[in-house]
Amino acid sequence: MPEETHGRAPAAADGPAGQQGGGGPREGGSGPREGGSGPREGGPGPRGGGRPGGGPGGRGKFFRRKKVCKFCTEKIDAIPYRDVRLLQQFVAERGKIVPRRLTGVCTTHQRRLTRAIKQARNIALLPFATRH
């Protein structure tokens, strides 16, 4: 039986005329699949054990604070679409709306924020995208 190289067929296999089964992801082979949920080679564990500040074993000084919703802390209910300075904080440089996991805004305010950004774009207060 030919030697397997981490779930992939060797580069110089039999060619198109004499292909063997079990090569691709749709052929139903019984080898380990590429991109599966197995452990990665060479890297730290799933919780980042070797990185500075990344879980058990890492003794770094980096500590990630829990992000708090800006609108909840300042008790802002209605997000005005005319307030361009406020909305620009939640729009990336290229014009994309920054996701919740990066800004720390709660779900309800993210929905209202998205609606306000889209309204501001429609009346040309914010750009849809930058010119590149």
CA distance 125 to 31: 55
Split at pLDDT 50, 70, 90, the class of 34 is: low
pLDDT digits (tens, 9 = 90+) for 37-90: 555 555 555 555 555 555 566 666 777 777 899 999 999 889 999 999 999 999
Decide if 16 contacts 22 (C-beta within 8 A): no
* Per-domain residue ranges of the chain: 70-122
pLDDT at 43: 53
Domain covering 70-122 assigned CATH 4.10.640.10 in the classification: yes
In this prediction, residues 6-22 reach a mean pLDDT of 54
| pLDDT over 80 (residue 127) | yes
In terms of pTM, does the model score above 0.75? no
pLDDT at residue number 131? 76
Contact predicate 118/95, CB 8 Å: no
- Give the dihedral sign, CA 21/22/27/29: positive
